[in-house]
Chain A
Amino acid sequence: MDRQKLQRIGVTAASSVAAVLFALVICGIILLLTGRSPSHVYQTMWDAAGERRIQYDAIQRATPLMFAGCAVALGFKMNLFNIGVEGQYRIAALVTAIVGTRIGFLPAPLHVAVELAVACICGAAWAGIAAFMKVRRGVNEVIATIMLNAIAISLAAWLFNTYFRYTQGNSQNVTTRPIPRSGWMPDIVKDQLNGFFIVALLVVFAYWIVVFKSRFGFRLRASGHNDVAAKTSGISSKRMIVTALLLSGAVAGFIGMQQTLGDSHAYSSQGFVDGIGFLGIAVALLGRNHPIGIVLSALLFGLLAASATKLGLIKVPQEIVQIIEGVIVLSVVIVNEASGRWVDKRTQQRAAHAVEHHLTQQGVTA
Chain B
Amino acid sequence: MRYSKRLRVASLAVVLGLAAAACGSSAKTTSTTATTKGGTATTAATAGSAAGATTAGSTAGGTSSGGTTFGGKLPDCFGNPTGTVTKGSKAGIAYDTGGRGDGTFNDSAARGADAAKTGLGVTIDELEAKTGDDRNPNLTTLSGNGDNPIIAVGFLFETDLLKIAAANPKTMYGIVDDVPPGANANIFSLVFAANEGSFLVGAAAALKSKSGHIGFIGGQDIDLIHNFEAGYDAGAKAVNSKIIIESKYLGAAGDNAAWTSPDKAKEIATGWYTSGADVIYSAAGGSGNGTIDAAVAAGDGKWAIGVDSDQYLTATPAQQKHILTSMVKHVDVATYDTIRAVGQGATKGAVCTFSLANDGVGYATSGGYVDDIKAKLDGYKADIISGKIVVPAK
Contact = CB atoms under 8 A, between A and B. Distances in A.
Interface stretch (A120-128, A201-209, A323-331, A357-365): A323-331
Interface stretch (B34-42, B195-203, B274-282, B337-345): B34-42
Contacts of A336: 3
A278 B6 contact: no
A305 B133 contact: yes
A98 to B, nearest CB: 15
A282 B18 contact: yes
Interface residues of B, number: 62
A275 B131 contact: yes
Secondary structure at the B interface, as helix, strand, loop or mixed, is: helix
B15 A170 contact: no
Interface stretch (A102-110, A264-272, A292-300): A264-272
A184 B11 CA distance: 36
A312 B158 contact: no
B253 A161 contact: yes
Given A57-B137, A270-B156, A336-B3, A158 B254 contact: yes
A274 B24 contact: yes
B350 to A, nearest CB: 13
Interface string A305-342: 11001101100001101100110011001001100110
A272 B127 contact: no
Given A322-B22, A326-B19, A285 B127 contact: no
Nearest to B39: A170
Contacts of B10: 76, 81, 281, 285
A329 B156 contact: no
Interface residues of A, number: 58
Interface stretch (B178-186, B233-241, B371-379, B386-394): B178-186
Interface in A227-272: 259, 263-264, 269-272
A169 interface: yes
Interface stretch (B71-79, B138-146, B319-327): B138-146
Contacts of B158: 171-173
Contact of A172 (B20, B134, B179, B256): B179
A191 B166 CA distance: 12
B177 interface: yes
Which has the most chain A C-beta neighbours within 10 Å: B145, B156, B167? B156
B47 interface: no
A147 interface: no
Interface of B: 1-4, 6-11, 13-15, 17-22, 24-25, 30, 33-34, 37, 40-41, 125-128, 130-134, 136-138, 140-141, 144-145, 155-156, 158-159, 163, 167, 177-182, 189, 191, 253-256, 351
7 contacts: A160-B254, A173-B178, A309-B138, A326-B15, A326-B18, A330-B11, A330-B15
